[in-house]
């Protein structure tokens, strides 16, 4: 056994499947998939093949070349990693067919009943496979060290449609015998339809994605459509918010090289989507909270777009090197934002990120391992240690290198880095070797080991320098001595300016100050969730129970973890706070069902740590 990834049972001495062919029957009433997965290997293998699985009931494994059954066993489930699926191959085989059913509590899938959707008429289901949830949809070597091409047939109710992070081949009525091993496939052919997809480019399993529901779409640009629940108003607003997509793709191409994925479609999910965005190739998944009507959703789109190069082309080998995905992408995102929205906007984002980094370094003060860029995740559930560190410390590291070598040289380096490692999975050492080889002497200028292996924030990290940034931070400092910003000072503030302002206030202030600020600027009811949540956090920390109603509404209205985490944490952290704790527990018990399983787990772990 040669582990290559602390989050996978996969054995590096065994061949990795390079092709996966899936047949998925969507059973909405039971919230399950009845499925088969055909895994093909580049070289025949004999012995005990090890795959990852989670919450799957495996019915049978066969060798498709002889149709003969293969003995298999599932280990007892580990809370985060799931079960090892061991398949005995007495004779060398180059493929295996697994038939199985997913669990209604699959950690990768959120099954929404009609009332939980925006339109309220049809059910909806979607995947979220990063970091280690692909194994809860199909058995696989679920490590980003592996790359797979795949094809998929999705058998769904005829009134719905499907999208995937893959090329759509077509839609046809199911026929009997189309999916051997899935008997139900043949039972309801009249009411069903099959949507077919293929992904020709090799991807790490965490980029596997689909969504099924009552979907519509609208054109945004030459290689971009926006998909969402079929509501004309929503689609129109989304198309307007993302109108700049093509300009950003072009900017990305100028900076990082050709866009390799052909399409850049966007899918706006129901409100329970647990992330801001997820970089599924060809089709980025987005929370509806990014549609604010002021074009600021562009920042999240820029980020997910940037992953098309950093993350999806060059992938971290395992989650211990996650900063290679997110740090590079945060850097790339800001370069795109700078090009399309200007330097001041980019500086504002750097400043918001700087606050977030400092807060998370503080959050991990008893667990400094997770303030390192490269860290040890043996026995760790990646969802539990998600933080701004890989994003913002990673960004700071790259920004530091840029300052050292100058922008033109760094741009040239980045292009070469991407061209060299595209469609590969790499680790921190590989990056550092490449850096030293291409920028000779860099290790004498920058302490590369301190940056990648040290805890905390190195002294040569930087706050941004910009007029708006400095002005907002000093206004926030003045609030501490009792001065509220004047109307004329905030007249042209949008969400990000307010966010930066609120993030720079002390953690708690006088309750009367909170009330006065809100009376003047209506922050608790802001339509911008970044602003609203930053304000509510301040209100909770300052002991203003007046805002519990708004907090409860927010926690029930959206499932984005970026909002759930700080609000639940503010409620339950610290001594005393009995009323807050009871409140948090009640709200969670009522809201839980509407959250994605990953978000449920994250909130549970916050509550269990403090209650």
Pick what 451 binds: ligand BES, Zn ion, none; C-beta below 5 to 8 Å, kind-dependent. none
Q: What are phi and psi of 288, to 5 degrees?
A: -65, -15
Q: Per the residue annotation, which of 237, 304, 326, 580 is the catalytic one? A: 304
Looking at residue 273, the DSSP 8-state letter turns out to be -
Looking at residue 384, the DSSP 8-state letter turns out to be G
As a whole number of angstroms, the distance between CA 579 and CA 575 comes to 12
Residue with Cβ nearer Zn ion (11 or 326): 326
Of residues 323-362, those binding Zn ion (CB under 5 A): 326, 329
Annotated catalytic residue 304: yes
Residue with Cβ nearer ligand BES (138 or 583): 138
Q: Which stretch binds Zn ion (CB under 5 A): 109-117, 290-298, 319-327, 553-561?
A: 319-327
Pick what 130 binds: ligand BES, Zn ion, none; C-beta below 5 to 8 Å, kind-dependent. ligand BES
CB of 105 to ligand BES, least distance (A): 18
- The terminus-to-terminus CA distance of the chain in angstroms comes to 40
As a whole number of angstroms, the distance between CA 394 and CA 268 comes to 28
What are residue 224's DSSP bridge partners?
221
What residues make contact with ligand BES under the rule CB under 6 A?
130-131, 275-279, 299-300, 303-304, 307, 326, 386, 562
- Cβ(394)–Cβ(331) under 8 Å? yes
Residue with Cβ nearer Zn ion (53 or 329): 329
Angle, to 10 degrees, between the axis of helix 597-610 and the axis of helix 561-572?
20
Annotated catalytic residue 391: yes
CB of 210 to ligand BES, least distance (A): 16
Pick what 276 binds: ligand BES, Zn ion, none; C-beta below 5 to 8 Å, kind-dependent. ligand BES
Q: Per the residue annotation, which of 391, 521, 563, 568 is the catalytic one? A: 391
**CA-CA-CA-CA torsion sign (79, 86, 312, 369):** positive
CB of 460 to ligand BES, least distance (A): 24
CB of 605 to ligand BES, least distance (A): 15
Residue with Cβ nearer ligand BES (265 or 279): 279
CA nearest 267: which of 329, 225, 327, 297?
Answer: 225
- Cβ(68)–Cβ(62) under 8 Å? yes
Pick what 563 binds: Zn ion, ligand BES, none; C-beta below 5 to 8 Å, kind-dependent. none
Q: Which stretch binds Zn ion (CB under 5 A): 107-115, 318-326, 538-546, 569-577?
A: 318-326
3-state secondary structure 475-499: HHHHHHCCCCCCHHHHCCCCHHHHH
Q: State the Rg of the chain over Cα.
A: 24
CB of 306 to ligand BES, least distance (A): 9
Residue with Cβ nearer Zn ion (52 or 326): 326
Pick what 277 binds: Zn ion, ligand BES, none; C-beta below 5 to 8 Å, kind-dependent. ligand BES
512 Cβ neighbours under 8 A, 6+ residues apart: none
Return residues touching Zn ion (CB under 5 A): 326, 329
Annotated catalytic sites, by residue?
Answer: 304, 391
């Amino acid at each position: 056994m040669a582990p290559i990834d602390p989050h996978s049972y996969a054995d590096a001495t065994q061949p990795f499947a390079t092709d996966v062919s899936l047949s998925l029957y969507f059973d909405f009433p039971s919230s399950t998939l009845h499925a088969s997965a055909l895994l093909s290997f580049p070289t025949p293998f004999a012995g005990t093949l090890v795959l990852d699985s989670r919450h799957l009931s495996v019915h049978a494994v066969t060798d498709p070349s002889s149709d003969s059954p293969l003995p298999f066993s599932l280990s007892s489930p580990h809370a985060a990693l799931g079960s090892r699926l061991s398949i005995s191959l007495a004779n060398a085989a180059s493929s295996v067919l697994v038939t199985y059913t997913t669990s209604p509590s699959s950690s990768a899938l959120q099954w929404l009943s009609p009332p939980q959707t925006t339109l309220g008429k049809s059910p909806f289901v979607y995947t979220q496979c990063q970091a280690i949830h692909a194994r809860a949809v199909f058995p696989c070597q679920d490590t980003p060290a592996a790359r797979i091409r795949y094809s998929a047939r999705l058998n769904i109710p005829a009134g719905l449609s499907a999208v995937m992070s893959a090329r759509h081949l077509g839609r046809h009525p199911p026929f009997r015998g189309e999916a051997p091993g899935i008997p139900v496939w043949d039972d309801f052919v009249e009411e069903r339809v099959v949507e077919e997809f293929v992904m020709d480019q090799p991807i790490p399993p965490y980029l596997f994605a689909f969504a099924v529901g009552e979907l519509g779409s609208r054109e945004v640009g030459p290689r971009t459509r926006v998909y969402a629940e079929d509501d004309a108003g929503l689609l129109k607003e989304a198309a307007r918010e993302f109108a700049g997509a093509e300009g950003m793709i072009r900017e990305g191409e100028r900076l990082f090289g050709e866009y390799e994925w052909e399409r850049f479609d966007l899918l706006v999910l129901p409100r329970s989507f647990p992330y801001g965005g997820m970089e599924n190739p060809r089709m980025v998944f987005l929370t509806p909270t990014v549609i604010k009507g002021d074009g600021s959703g562009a920042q999240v789109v820029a980020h997910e777009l940037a992953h098309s190069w950093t993350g999806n082309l060059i992938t971290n080998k395992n989650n211990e090197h996650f900063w290679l995905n997110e740090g590079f992408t945060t850097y790339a995102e800001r370069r795109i934002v700078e090009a399309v929205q200007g330097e001041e906007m980019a500086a504002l984002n750097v400043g918001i990120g700087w606050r977030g980094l400092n807060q998370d370094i503080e959050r991990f003060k008893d667990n400094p391992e997770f303030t390192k860029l490269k860290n040890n995740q043996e026995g760790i559930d990646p969802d539990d240690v998600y933080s701004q560190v890989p994003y913002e410390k990673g960004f700071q590291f790259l920004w530091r290198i840029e300052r050292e070598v100058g922008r033109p040289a760094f741009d040239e380096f980045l292009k070469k880095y991407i061209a060299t490692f595209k469609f590969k999975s790499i680790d921190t050492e590989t990056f550092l070797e490449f850096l030293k080889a291409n920028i000779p002497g860099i290790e004498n200028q920058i302490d590369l080991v301190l940056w990648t292996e040290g805890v905390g924030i190195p002294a040569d990290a930087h706050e941004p320098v910009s007029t708006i940034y400095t002005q907002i931070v000093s206004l926030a400092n003045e609030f501490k001595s009792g001065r509220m910003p004047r109307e004329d000072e905030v007249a042209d503030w949008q969400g990000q300016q307010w966010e930066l302002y609120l993030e720079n206030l002390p953690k708690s202030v006088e309750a009367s100050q909170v009330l006065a600020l809100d009376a003047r600027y209506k922050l608790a009811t802001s339509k911008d969730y970044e602003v609203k949540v930053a304000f509510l956090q301040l209100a909770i920390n300052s002991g203003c129970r007046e805002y519990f109603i708004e907090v409860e509404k927010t926690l029930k209205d959206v499932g984005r973890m970026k909002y759930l985490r700080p609000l639940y944490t503010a409620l339950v952290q610290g001594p005393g706070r009995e009323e807050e704790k009871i409140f948090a527990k009640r709200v969670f018990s009522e809201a839980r069902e509407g959250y994605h399983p990953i978000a449920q787990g994250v909130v549970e772990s916050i509550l269990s740590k403090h209650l």
